[in-house]
């Protein structure tokens, strides 16, 4: 536990400010009797009302910072202890030093707890579905990572996730289970680099299509398999529901579009956040994933928003820079064709 988040009384927090009980009562507008009851109690946060806490936070320096640090630490300690009992050790230094927002990381640790405990699939689905988005996804990424992650050994989490997936992949339609299955299989395949979904299912549907996308994206990032990227492109050409979910995924993931249970997007949509994410991925990911972007997603995005979030010029420059670095002729040719199309657009 850090010094900032150790339980402290109001008297300790305000000591260095030179404020006494009467000063705090005057500044906050609280009755002095109320402040007196809390003054020397290190568990005062558990006894104070929400309105009184707001008054203290807005009038006394250090209260808001203490409240945040203490609340995070309290939840962190509980999750670390619960996960340890389930056989998952948290790397506290990695957790503390991560660039991912602490609240997202703690949510990810709670997701791990639901998964390894084998909680009811409906409950797990509802919780995991909330991780659809760039920042929550980053938290899951460092949760599942085999190196430099926030778990010292994520193998039990991986095994539990693989065991859970069939229970989420039920036939009955559930928006949360579809999202959760995508998120779960994406994280597992990103770590393992292997496929656990058939790219040619017998009965194409939203659940199968979205699970396939999660698996393929994770495997592409991990393995750099160009054949897989091409197979995915052909599958989208053949199956309209796959293409529709592909087009839906980026804008909702980046919050350009509202997450909708019918997997539809408005006819007019500015892909501002999507453009930012795609430009980041062009510079960050391997050649196979880059091929997926230039052959599959970016053409779909341009049909939805020809301005590409008003960043079409940035896109051309990014494609030209990355294209020159690719050694595979197929990737370079596809990139060049896309650049030519972009330059010819009005």
Bridge partners (DSSP) of residue 90 are 151
Please report, for residues 15, 108, 124, 155, the alpha-carbon distance to residue 151 in angstroms, rounded to integers and kept in the order given. 38, 11, 20, 9
181: nearest Cα among 199, 159, 166, 160: 166
Mean pLDDT for 43-54 is: 94
Question: How much is the pTM?
Answer: 0.87
Q: What pLDDT does residue 166 have?
A: 82
Q: Assess whether pLDDT exceeds 90 at residue 27.
A: yes
Mean pLDDT for 116-144 is: 92
Q: What pLDDT does residue 197 have?
A: 45
- Residues 190-210: pLDDT tens digits? 998 765 543 334 455 677 788
How long, in residues, is the chain? 346
Q: How confident is the model at residue 123 (pLDDT cuts 50, 70, 90)?
A: confident
Q: What total number of domains does the chain contain?
A: 3
The verdict on residue 120 lying in a domain is yes
Q: What pLDDT does residue 194 have?
A: 66
Listed residues 197, 223, 249: the one ending a domain: 223
Listed residues 223, 255, 282: the one ending a domain: 223
Q: Assess whether pLDDT exceeds 60 at residue 171.
A: no
What CATH number has the domain bearing residue 8? 1.10.260
Listed residues 173, 203, 223: the one ending a domain: 223
44: nearest Cα among 54, 57, 55, 35: 35
Q: Are residues 214 and 330 in the same domain?
A: no
Give the mean pLDDT of the chain. Answer: 91
Mean pLDDT for 160-176 is: 79
Q: How confident is the model at residue 222 (pLDDT cuts 50, 70, 90)?
A: very high
Mean pLDDT for 212-239 is: 92
What's 16's DSSP letter? Answer: T
Q: Assess whether pLDDT exceeds 60 at residue 5.
A: no
Taking the alpha carbons at both ends of the chain, their separation in whole angstroms is 58
Q: Assess whether pLDDT exceeds 70 at residue 87.
A: yes
Mean pLDDT for 276-293 is: 97
The verdict on residue 228 lying in a domain is no
Q: How confident is the model at residue 14 (pLDDT cuts 50, 70, 90)?
A: very high
Q: Are residues 211 and 96 in the same domain?
A: yes
What's 7's DSSP letter? Answer: -
Range of the domain at 34: 1-80
């Amino acid at each position: 536990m850090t010094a900032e988040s150790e339980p402290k009384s109001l008297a300790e927090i305000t000591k260095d400010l030179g404020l006494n009980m009467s000063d705090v009562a005057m500044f906050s507008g609280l009755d002095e009797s109320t402040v007196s009851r809390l003054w020397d109690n290190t568990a005062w946060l558990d006894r104070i009302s929400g309105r009184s806490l707001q008054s203290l936070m807005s009038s006394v320096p250090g209260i808001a910072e203490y409240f945040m640090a203490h609340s995070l630490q309290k939840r962190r300690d509980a999750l670390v202890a619960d996960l340890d009992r389930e056989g998952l050790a948290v790397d506290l230094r990695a957790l503390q030093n991560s660039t991912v927002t602490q609240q997202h990381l703690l949510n990810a640790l709670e997701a791990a707890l639901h998964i390894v405990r084998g909680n009811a699939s409906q409950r797990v689905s509802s919780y995991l579905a909330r991780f659809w988005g760039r920042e929550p996804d980053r938290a899951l990424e460092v949760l599942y990572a085999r190196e430099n992650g926030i778990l010292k050994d994520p193998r039990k989490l991986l095994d539990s996730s693989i065991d859970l997936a069939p229970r989420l992949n039920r036939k009955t339609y559930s928006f949360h289970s579809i999202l959760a299955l995508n998120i779960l299989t994406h994280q597992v395949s990103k770590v393992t680099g292997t496929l656990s979904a058939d790219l040619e299912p017998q009965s194409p549907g939203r659940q199968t299509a979205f699970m396939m996308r999660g698996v393929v994206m994770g495997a592409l990032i991990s393995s750099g398999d160009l054949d897989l990227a091409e197979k995915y492109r052909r599958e989208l050409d053949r199956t309209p529901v796959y293409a529709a979910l592909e087009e839906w995924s980026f804008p909702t993931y980046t919050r350009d579009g509202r997450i909708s249970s019918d997997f539809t997007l408005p006819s007019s949509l500015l892909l501002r956040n999507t453009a930012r994410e795609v430009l980041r991925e062009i510079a960050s990911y391997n050649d196979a994933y880059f091929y997926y972007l230039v052959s599959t997603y970016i053409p779909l995005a341009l049909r939805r928003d020809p301005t590409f979030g008003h960043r079409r010029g940035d896109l051309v420059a990014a494609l030209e820079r990355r294209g020159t670095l690719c050694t595979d002729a197929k990737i370079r040719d596809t990139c060049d064709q896309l650049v030519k199309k972009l330059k010819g657009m009005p």
